[in-house]
Amino acid sequence: MSRKKTSKSKAGSAPATSALPAANGPRPVRPGTARPCPEAPPNGPPQPGWSSIGGGGDFYDVAFKVMLVGDSGVGKTCLLVRFKDGAFLAGTFISTVGIDFRRGTGPRTLGAPPPRTGPCWSWLVVFQNKVVDVDGMKVKLQIWDTAGQERFRSVTHAYYRDAHALLLLYDVTNKASFDSIQAWLTEIQEHAQDDVVLMLLGNKVDSAQERAVKREDAEKLAKGAETALHQGPQRAPLPAARLHQEGGPGVFLLQTLSLWDPATGHPPGRLDSLQQSVPG
């Protein structure tokens, strides 16, 4: 695929920005994705068990932080946008890099030097809240989109710690993005909570002709990874069979999906549930 990579912004409550790579020159910004979320608490997202009245007028019973991770270009931002707004971001690929924001004033001028004072919302992550109904319970998902580019990993790691679930994406048309999954798993093992829920997502199954990763290979990887994660030094060993049956914490399953409907060019419906993903 020949997509020109430029840059896009993701905002969130990042750690101090001084250690972060500086934005380099003017960068295009996607409307709607490059804005700080006013609900963002300075020290991370709300935890389960918080009040049933959330910020921004959302009512919920329980809240979870979900993070999207995976190589650059696999479709993390598209997934977030589809899930939140039902829209698909087609066209030029705008990659996630650091653009910073001053709290309350929105995006600063792209390419301008970073602000010298004041709190900064920034960089390589952006999150969106969405409340979904699960068995009569209002579940608030705070979904964090991270920059996939390798040079930003040390920054995005910091956000794994308090994540309840990680959606690990690869692009079925890009073998390299699948080959990287092992490295992502190692990072997850190092930086995420022991009981984090993981899901492997193979995106872009609509591009059947360009497919470079077989479903069986991904299933094999998911199965192996599930066992390895639960036998790792920091994790309690759990029999794989039990995990499959009970669907408990740490389950690592493969789902494939397409965020684009090739028949109509429109999204095939809201991704309220990843279970509705396209078989591939």
Ligand X SMILES: Nc1nc2c(ncn2[C@@H]2O[C@H](COP(=O)(O)OP(=O)(O)OP(=O)(O)O)[C@@H](O)[C@H]2O)c(=O)[nH]1
The single-letter DSSP state of residue 74 is S
Instruction: Calculate Rg over the CA atoms of the chain.
Output: 18
Is residue 258 at the binding interface for ligand X, with CB under 6 A as the rule?
yes
Cβ proximity to ligand X: between 60 and 88 the closer is: 88
Is residue 256 at the binding interface for ligand X, with CB under 6 A as the rule?
no
Place of tokens 């990993």: 153
| Coil vs helix vs strand at 221 | helix
Kindly indicate which of the ranges 49-57, 141-149, 190-198, 248-256 contains the residues binding ligand X, using the contact rule CB under 6 A.
Answer: 141-149
Is residue 75 at the binding interface for ligand X, with CB under 6 A as the rule?
yes
The 26-65 site mask, x for binding ligand X (CB under 6 A), equals ----------------------------------------
Q: Helix, strand, coil % (nearest 5) of the chain?
A: 25, 25, 50
Structural element, H or E, at residue 125: strand 125-134
Is residue 208 at the binding interface for ligand X, with CB under 6 A as the rule?
no
Cβ proximity to ligand X: between 78 and 163 the closer is: 78
Structural element, H or E, at residue 101: strand 100-102
**Distance (Å, rounded) from C-alpha 114 to C-alpha 270?**
37
Taking CB positions, which residue lies at the least distance from ligand X?
A: 148
**Distance (Å, rounded) from C-alpha 250 to C-alpha 235?**
10
Residue 33: C-alpha distances to residues 106, 165, 177, 236 (Å): 11, 21, 23, 38
Among 15, 26, 32, 90, binds ligand X (CB under 6 A): 90
Among 9, 13, 33, 96, binds ligand X (CB under 6 A): 96
Nearest approach in angstroms of CB 95 to ligand X is 4
Kindly indicate which of the ranges 55-63, 128-136, 202-210, 246-254 contains the residues binding ligand X, using the contact rule CB under 6 A.
Answer: 202-210
Name the strands in the sheet holding 100-102, side by side, starting at the edge strand that comes first in the sequence: 106-107, 100-102, 120-122
* 233 burial via Cβ count (<10 Å: 0-12, 13-18, 19+): exposed
Among 72, 129, 156, 255, binds ligand X (CB under 6 A): 72
Cβ proximity to ligand X: between 147 and 196 the closer is: 147
Is residue 148 at the binding interface for ligand X, with CB under 6 A as the rule?
yes
Kindly indicate which of the ranges 100-108, 199-207, 219-227, 269-277 contains the residues binding ligand X, using the contact rule CB under 6 A.
Answer: 199-207
The residues of the shown chain that bind ligand X, judged by CB under 6 A, are 3, 72-78, 89-90, 93, 95-96, 147-149, 203-204, 206-207, 258-260
